[in-house]
Structure 1
């Protein structure tokens, strides 16, 4: 049984696909469902995907395919609520195999905060512009991007000039790749390890040594969520 918001969202997506062949943007979904942020849309889409109602198409940024629509008797609340369009979308009967229009790409603008070291720590990241990012590379939460400088994470597939997509958080589990701010002045991208009461920042390059600090000297500023790479 779907929640009212899940039901409302899948109907809205289906109506837009049938009308235009293009999925609504995250901003349009947010406004249609009267949500406060796009992270709420991300959570609803993830829930619908887990239950088999929609599918994210591979190699296309946040392109959505409606696999099935809920039965008419979803919930009393869902049946009674206002839909985001005046004309209700048709409900496909069970076993209906007709083709459902597929969505085009959805892109989100996130802050770009300059360069970060994937070697020895450098001065704390400064400046801010923005860059478009395929939403499929991002999960729930607030994100920003950093341009990688250095080669200490190459064995993790992170190269000089890549753009690290980072989810904002001040906590991380042992072994996760994080943006770590050292002494409030220097930022670096490393594996986070907790060892004997100390914080160890591990590179992914055998030619570099780990950096070990007292816990009070290291502040986690985010966890790696994805990468973008430009080819010239």
Structure 2
């Protein structure tokens, strides 16, 4: 069931798409619903997407697509649970042009999945793009490049990171104590661990008591990036 504001916004978007072939801008939606800020529009759009009425796309400006309409607007009746499916992989899309900072949050971005990362004993260094994954724009921190890695192992389970999860990493060569980082050990092995720098040593700490903290001379460990998000598939 939709609230009146959600229904009003869906109807406005539908009419504009029917008339112009493209959805309205944030400003147009805000004015049409007589809202004070575009953040209210963002919440309404998120609610419509969660209920399966719209889909947000990454390859065009104002990337909103009507998926279905409620019966009150002439849509087909629905019953029961309908899962949302994200197909992949897709080629990396171009950055949409002429959008406001508020609208940027609506867009998913395609990130390269650079193979697997060990959350356990370190595995071979990451050196290739395996495939791509779509990541919500609001998950990515501002500034810097990002990439994704598939987790292999259970050493970070107490930090909420499970085997098979996809972690989102912001490229960085530095980290603060307590950060979860991708660390390259002796230029050969990559691992996902909590970072601690103490004097001339670096400790890579697991989040599972079954794994010991590993300590290396600081010149044997290179930080490759910091964890900023996680995607889990059920």
TM over 0.5: yes
Aligned to 1:162: 165
* Pairing 1:105-124 to 2, within 5 Å after superposition: 105-124=106-125
* Whole-Å separation in 1 of the counterparts to 2:193 and 2:104: 36
* Whole-Å separation in 2 of the counterparts to 1:123 and 1:22: 48
Alpha carbons of structure 1 residues 106 and 22: separation in structure 2 relative to 1, 3 Å: farther
Q: 2:178 aligns with which of 175, 179, 203?
A: 175
* Whole-Å separation in 1 of the counterparts to 2:120 and 2:217: 19
Structure number with the bigger relative contact order (C-alpha 8 A, sep ≥ 6) is 1
* Whole-Å separation in 2 of the counterparts to 1:213 and 1:179: 15
Q: Secondary structure at the match of 2:219?
A: helix
Report the CA distance between 1:220 and its aligned residue.
0.3
Moved more, 208-217 or 117-126: 117-126
Structure 1's consecutive aligned runs of 4 or more residues displaced over 2 angstroms after TM superposition are 19-24, 52-61, 102-105
Alpha carbons of structure 1 residues 223 and 104: separation in structure 2 relative to 1, 3 Å: closer
* Whole-Å separation in 1 of the counterparts to 2:23 and 2:104: 6
* Whole-Å separation in 2 of the counterparts to 1:176 and 1:120: 19
Q: Secondary structure at the match of 1:155?
A: helix
Aligned to 2:76: none
Aligned to 1:139: 141
Report the CA distance between 1:139 and its aligned residue.
1.5
Q: Secondary structure at the match of 2:204?
A: strand
Aligned to 1:224: 227
Q: Is the 8 A contact 1:21 1:103 kept in 2?
A: no
Aligned to 1:81: none
Structure 1 gap segments, 5+ residues each = 1-15, 25-51, 65-83, 86-101
* Whole-Å separation in 1 of the counterparts to 2:105 and 2:192: 33
* Whole-Å separation in 2 of the counterparts to 1:167 and 1:104: 17
* Pairing 1:34-113 to 2, within 5 Å after superposition: 54-55=38-39, 56-57=42-43, 105-113=106-114
Structure 2 gap segments, 5+ residues each = 1-15, 27-35, 51-55, 57-61, 63-97
* Whole-Å separation in 1 of the counterparts to 2:224 and 2:104: 34
Report the CA distance between 1:105 and its aligned residue.
4.3
Name the TM-score, length of structure 1 as normaliser.
0.58
* Whole-Å separation in 2 of the counterparts to 1:159 and 1:220: 21
